[in-house]
Amino acid sequence: MKQVIIYISMIVVAFLMIFIIKYNEAKQPIKIYFVNTYYSYVLDEEETIDIMFFINHDYPILDTNNYMDVKIYNEDQSKQMTLSALEINLMGSESYLGETYEKYMLELQMPQINQSFYIDDAILEITLTNDDIYQFYFGTLSLFYSEQSEVNIIDWQSLSAIKDAETSISRIKEIYVAFNEINQTIDEIYIGANHQVNWTINDDKLILTIDYDKQLLYACPIMIYNDQGDIQIIDYFLYINDYQILKESGMMLYGYLLS
């Protein structure tokens, strides 16, 4: 009889623990984070863009079938773009402040435009089919459009990069462009369409120094100009490949409660 009571007690305790766990999960606030990031893309006919975010729980915003409308605009809405949500891709997970967050990329189809487009302090607005509206700050969107043909300024082989050892944020300090030959005089180099960088040549490497530390950089093209104003584009180089972006982003994080 005593053993039966013990077994029953164990079962009751197990059910209570399950109930407590489920109750705490239900009470856990659903949080989503965006990182202040500089996104830059070269426009072509099939161009899509990706926007990174982190979330700690399943939520309707993770299914693009629930999307009715997607817009990107600046604070006063003087610049605005309507896009189509294609899919959301799971990229991994991170731990932050004692919680686990899944990292996703929201893939968006851009409208066809025939000019460069730039939005600083950009806001992503998502309207779901139930009429819920969400607005998230995500950084800067720079779209580069050019009608001129590219020229072969540098015969490059490979790209690599190093992070700044003196800072913990998820960004790089230098990009190395290994090359066989430089065919024309280099005048200017940009990361994305808007950020000019300093550069040096060391043996068979073109070294770009990245000093823009207010934002993360994501997959921005390298734009090399010769002294005639012609351009060569190396598109694209992935600048973010860390597993602790949330932990290392500090003041660049923008968090929102979804429930």
Q: How many domains does the chain have?
A: 2
Question: Does 192 fall in a domain?
Answer: yes
Question: Does 161 fall in a domain?
Answer: yes
Question: Does 19 fall in a domain?
Answer: no
In sign, the C-alpha dihedral spanning 117, 119, 124, 126 is negative
Cβ neighbours, 10 Å, residue 86: 15
- pLDDT value of position 23: 45
82 touches 75 (CB < 8 A): no
Q: Residue 70 and residue 58: Cα distance in Å, rounded?
A: 20
Average pLDDT rounded to a whole number, residues 55-62 = 96
Taking all residues of the chain, what is their mean pLDDT, rounded to a whole number?
86
196 touches 212 (CB < 8 A): no
| Residue 172 bridge partners (DSSP) | 163
Question: Does 81 fall in a domain?
Answer: yes
Q: Are residues 45 and 133 in the same domain?
A: yes
Q: Which of the four pLDDT bands, split at 50, 70 and 90, describes residue 8?
A: low
Q: Where are the alpha helices (DSSP H) in the chain?
A: 2-27, 245-249
Question: Does 221 fall in a domain?
Answer: yes
Any idea what the CATH number is for the domain that residue 140 is in?
2.60.40
- pLDDT value of position 118: 92
Q: Residue 134 and residue 124: Cα distance in Å, rounded?
A: 8
Q: Are residues 51 and 71 in the same domain?
A: yes
| Residue 51 bridge partners (DSSP) | 106
Q: Which of the four pLDDT bands, split at 50, 70 and 90, describes residue 185?
A: very high
Which of residues 83 and 237 earns the better pLDDT score?
83
Q: Are residues 86 and 158 in the same domain?
A: no
In sign, the C-alpha dihedral spanning 37, 43, 44, 48 is positive
37 touches 10 (CB < 8 A): no
Q: What is the dihedral of CA 215, 216, 222, 225, to 10 degrees?
A: 10
CA 151 to chain centre: 29
- pLDDT value of position 6: 55
Instruction: Reply yes or no on whether the pLDDT at 36 is more than 60.
Output: yes
Percent above pLDDT 70 for the chain: 85
Cβ neighbours, 10 Å, residue 124: 21
Residue labelled with tokens 């300090």: 173
Q: Are residues 117 and 77 in the same domain?
A: yes
Residue labelled with tokens 């992935």: 238
- pLDDT value of position 37: 93
Q: Which of the four pLDDT bands, split at 50, 70 and 90, describes residue 147?
A: confident
Q: Are residues 130 and 182 in the same domain?
A: no
Q: Are residues 253 and 226 in the same domain?
A: no
Question: Does 21 fall in a domain?
Answer: no
Quote the pTM value.
0.83
Question: Does 187 fall in a domain?
Answer: yes
* Residue 85 structural domain: 31-146+249-257
Instruction: Reply yes or no on whether the pLDDT at 68 is more than 80.
Output: yes
